[in-house]
Amino acid sequence: MIYSIPYVILIAFFEFLGYIYYQQEDEAIKRRVVLFAVLVYFVFIGFRGFIFSDWINYLPYFESCTTDKLFYYDITDTGMYEPGFTTLVLLCKGLFDNYHFFVFVTSAINLALLLNFFRGRVGNIPLALALYLVFDGFTISINLMRNSISILIFLNALRFLEERRAIPYFLLCLLALTFHATALIYFPLYFFFHRGYNRWVYLGIFAAGNIIFLLNIHIFLSLISLLGIGGEFVENKITMYTEYYSSSVHLSIGYLERLMTGMLVFLYYDKLKEIRKENVVFINALLAYFVSYFFFSEFSEISRRLSTIFVFSYWIIWIDLAKCFSIENNRKIFMAFLSIYCLIKVVGITRFTDMDYDNILFGNIKSYEERLYIHNRNYVEPE
């Protein structure tokens, strides 16, 4: 619980700023509130120390990265990263050979891409930042340094999907692919994410996912075996996930959250599309999130990785759901519930030792070696 305190304070602060923004009519004050929220966010994320866990891989890669790695990439080689990410590493090293400078730069890129995605879709940026961080944003911004840029580039391509402009959409997806191989998933989305489907189709898929999840029905390996796709590499990956990440289903507050979200979207399906026509895309993305989470729930790691790609739907839809309540009091009750739930959820995300927060602006941070020792002591089983 003690490790969660800085994160809880941050989310509560954003919720407070979001409330001020909501109450204000002066546009100048609103702009200052947004600017303050963005500044606080960047200081917290951009100047972080060795928190969460993926720095264990990224710092050694940063230190050992040379131009040789730019011209060789093999998806099956876990020691190699995509050429776009490697180029960014080399550029940062050329400017200032310091890993924390690299974290600063990637955080600035992510923030710029995120704000551009929110532009025109979200007015209350402090609240949107709170939702972003609580719904996988901490993991995306801190732990997924390659995938974060890939995801956020794709989010900026959504405008071209909505406008049916294929060339800029696929060019941005191609750029996202140079940062993370999972961006291959984005390419076919152009052909069906813009389509509006019947709400009963949505409910049928959502209900089927819940049944598969609750009854722990194993379908993933069966599909792979039946279709015979992927070859030896995919088979090895599946074997690894089966051995290390397979888990039995258990009910949790997270499942109840998804159940409630899915049902609210069904109830206000038409209203959400009336609020903004782009919500067709976000509803489809939410459905893809549910499919990823429920249909592949037999393997927690696969489910988590796939659902992270589509979690952006939460950041928009949860704000728009509040607009669906015609009675002002009900809207306030919903927003109060959302604020409390976000605080509860962030505790669950950040209660572990690896999340012990420190910041290079606020004094000495724990070194790589010290944090690695703490990580190994708490998470790595002795041989």
Per domain, the residue ranges of the chain are 192-310
Is 199:182 a contact under the CB 8 Å cutoff?
Answer: no
Length of the chain: 383
Cα separation, 29 vs 16, whole angstroms: 14
Q: Which residues contact 23 (CB under 8 A, 6 or more apart)?
A: none
Burial grade of 53 (CB within 10 A; 0-12, 13-18, 19 or more): middle
Query: The tokens 């209203």 sit on which residue?
Result: 271
Q: Can you give the pLDDT at residue 383?
A: 44
pLDDT digit string, tens, across residues 106-133: 999 999 999 999 998 998 999 999 999 9
Name the range with the highest mean pLDDT among 74-83, 190-199, 247-256. 190-199
Q: Which residues contact 182 (CB under 8 A, 6 or more apart)?
A: 147, 150, 305, 309
Cα 337 to its chain centre, rounded Å, is 22
pLDDT digit string, tens, across residues 337-362: 999 999 999 998 998 888 999 999 98
- Above 90 in pLDDT, residue 7? yes
pLDDT digit string, tens, across residues 239-293: 555 544 444 445 678 888 999 999 999 999 999 998 888 899 999 999 999 998 8
Which pTM was predicted? 0.88
Outline where 215-311 has alpha helix (H). Answer: 220-227, 231-244, 253-267, 269-275, 279-290, 300-310
Cα separation, 219 vs 124, whole angstroms: 41
Cα separation, 73 vs 93, whole angstroms: 19
Outline where the chain has alpha helix (H). Answer: 5-23, 27-46, 55-64, 83-95, 99-118, 125-132, 138, 145-162, 166-177, 186-189, 199-214, 220-227, 231-244, 253-267, 269-275, 279-290, 300-310, 312-323, 328-350, 368-379
